[in-house]
Structure 1
């Protein structure tokens, strides 16, 4: 796994359980140096461990099998693109106020969609993992609400567009982003983003991240193999190609 990465991180209050999970699952490499703030994040220090250092790096056995099993592959998942039976699943834990998440969304993700999602190789499943406070949480719920009207990817693109973060994610701004994304029923959108279903969906995603030791954004799993930070495109294509070859060699996903 690449060891130089760019992430954003804020302290979490779930230290004991998360630390156990991180060590157990070989995810020491998630950890990053804290940025100065979410606007001016600096590159993280080199990882203290890599996927190849972790015990039993075969994605179908040991700790990595547990991580690979986090792929939901749910029909009708509004926060996913790609076939449910794709041989490779990339899970992304991200925050709409994270500058490096935005960089990945603008520079890398479209290339992965073009190269791998469109030919059926890759499925991308997004997990909302807000770590920068109330506006991060509101944006995550708004993205989920946009997804209920099949506009998640358009909202995702609008919220991560150049300069979007600087305008904040207050309620009026989120409605404006929904309008930009083509959400057809804005009244339903407003009700959905403040409703219990949005809150429950956010809890599900965030608790999953806490459970496996995610502390920084963006963080990724490629068929259970962790990648930390907004790595160059080549790091993701290498991981996806490797996972595809492993899946093909096993005659299945």
Structure 2
């Protein structure tokens, strides 16, 4: 597997306390470790970051990374959904594909469609030039409102084995229903695409993510393509917490 490389650009750092970044990196590593431990969710007991406690301020900082922008082409779900899941992923990542095929459709059906959950995608290309090209292409497809269709095509079983060269990316765009393929090609190679992908990647590194997929559920880290039950538990816990905060007379976040 190629060694992830970090972009040299650091112009778009997330606005987080330096200490919070260190803690976030530790949390992501801890959650990743717990996910593969003998008493992990594979045994039927979902594991996620705990609520409240000394890390509450950190979770609020990380939750603030949710854009909740109605014009965000790489997101789906209500902007006022009580729970936001941010996914940092690479189109060459096999586990990202597993999540996209096996878990995400269920989360969309159960939680996005009823207004509980919003999913915000962040391009986190860490496996070289092909990953970078696929990330820019996904952004370009999004400019014609076809990001999620491109996402499904790129993560289909066996898709990544066909590579992400220019001709292949154009074929994926066509499969996704992108109408103006010439514009798609221009947008893929544009400075705007490179800047958008770079900003997402720097945000991922800024919170301590070093592998894909990595997630934040209302600011709480969750690492890896965990079983669906883990995401269900995290989303429902976050929704319950948001409802409790709202019932106390404060804005639910």
Same fold (TM over 0.5): yes
Deviation at 1:53, TM superposition (A): 10
Matches within 5 A, 1:37-116: 46=37, 51-52=49-50, 56-58=54-56, 62-116=57-111
Deviation at 1:210, TM superposition (A): 1.0
Query: Equivalent residue of 2:177, what SS?
Result: coil
Residue among 144, 147, 150 paired with 2:145: 150
Count, aligned residues:
228
Provide TM-score, normalisation by structure 2: 0.83
Report the Cα distance in structure 2 between the residues aligned to 1:65 and 1:10, rounded to whole angstroms. Answer: 32
Higher helix proportion (structure 1 or 2): 2
1:212 and 2:207 matched: yes
Report the Cα distance in structure 2 between the residues aligned to 1:243 and 1:220, rounded to whole angstroms. Answer: 14
Q: Deviations over 1:92-127 (max 9, x none)?
A: 000000000000000000000000000000000000
Report the Cα distance in structure 1 between the residues aligned to 2:3 and 2:49, rounded to whole angstroms. Answer: 23
What RMSD, in angstroms, separates the aligned Cα atoms of the two structures? 2.6
Note closer, same or farther for the CA distance 1:191–1:26 as it changes in structure 2 (3 Å cut): closer
Structure 2: runs of 5 or more not aligned: 8-12, 39-46, 247-251
Residue among 172, 178, 198 paired with 2:173: 178
Matches within 5 A, 1:233-252: 233-251=228-246, 252=252
Query: Equivalent residue of 2:221, what SS?
Result: strand
Matches within 5 A, 1:125-140: 125-140=120-135
Structure 1: runs of 5 or more not aligned: 1-7, 33-43
Deviation at 1:30, TM superposition (A): 2.6
Q: Does the 8 Å contact 2:76/2:119 carry over to 1?
A: yes
Q: Does the 8 Å contact 1:9/1:217 carry over to 2?
A: no
